Amino acid sequence: MRVVVAPDRDDRVLSHTHVLGAVIVPFLLVAFALLYFFPGDTKSYFAWEIHPDITPMIMGAGYIAGAYFFMRVVMETRFHRVHVGFLPVTAFTIFMAAGTFLHLDRFLQDHVAFWIWVGLYVTTPILVPLAWLCNRRTDPGTPEAGESRLSSRARGVLLGVGALQMLVAFVLLLSPSTMIDVWPWMLTPLTAQTLGGWFALPGITAIMMGLDGRPSAIRITLQSQAIGLALILVAVARDWSSIDSSNALSYVFVAGLAALLAGLLTLDLHMRRIGSVPPPARVSRP
């Protein structure tokens, strides 16, 4: 018997979702290039001056991870393969907006970069979740042919890791002074709250992965997160001099990043080994 998919559950990516991704990508690529490769020049080109260099490099690593995700949104034809990333991006943009409007006096308001920054973080907390809400009705909610959902144990680990990251994110946002006192490198209230967004993003990502459990829905967002984590580790090595090596949290931070990256790569390998992600369909020749 042939299964008929309802027209509103055909898993298509709506045109406005493609357009949103295409509009966002250039901003993320430029932000990555400037922050990751020229972290010491933020006073000249960015919305505010950031010190030490490790902070803008971490931000840049996150932006290129986001650029990869939204480029895949632009190219993807099946919405469920990218839907996991939308709510994490929403959480991130909300953190950015909160930090911005709590510390407007720290921004270089005569720079065009400031107005671009404000424009992005006023609009994206609305447009990104709206795109997800409109497009999610096309997701059939079922695994792809030949795949099964992750085990309850794997999903539980993802939910736990996500909850821990969200705890750190909320402390950075709501009590930046607490983190400033113990953080491995120098933070200001603005950079602490901004950094909270970079914990909220992977935190909600892990939670969404655990809730969904479909390997095909996880894969693209997992790749995006792995790119960001790898570049953050490189950033730490590049600017190790800014990190307080006498602070035990410095090593906890680096070990945590390495463990998260290893965990993502292990999860990807696990999905491949159990055959959760089906191989590309073979086209028969006459």
> Which residues are paired to 78 by β-bridges?
12
Domain count, the chain: 1
63-83, pLDDT tens digit by residue? 999 999 999 999 999 999 999
143 pLDDT band, cuts 50/70/90, is: very high
Q: What angle in degrees, to the nearest 10, is found between the helix axes of 15-37 and 112-135?
A: 140
The encoded tokens of residue 192 equal: 């602490």
Among residues 61, 93, 94, the alpha carbon closest in space to that of 238 is found at 61
pLDDT over threshold 70, residue 106:
yes
Domain for residue 42, yes or no? yes
Domain for residue 283, yes or no? no
- CA torsion angle 25 27 30 36 (round to 10): -90
Distance CA 178, CA 172 (A): 8
Domain for residue 286, yes or no? no
Domain for residue 280, yes or no? no
Distance CA 149, CA 145 (A): 11
Distance CA 184, CA 255 (A): 13
pLDDT at position 8 is 72
Domain for residue 221, yes or no? yes
pLDDT at position 180 is 97
Burial 102-125 (b: 16+ CB within 10 A, else e): ebeebbbeebebbeebbebbeebb
Domain for residue 282, yes or no? no
pLDDT over threshold 60, residue 1:
no
Among residues 271, 186, 216, 179, the alpha carbon closest in space to that of 83 is found at 216
Domain for residue 70, yes or no? yes
224-242, pLDDT tens digit by residue? 999 999 999 999 999 999 9
Domain for residue 228, yes or no? yes
Instruction: Determine the structural domain holding residue 167 and report its residue range.
Output: 12-141+148-242+250-273
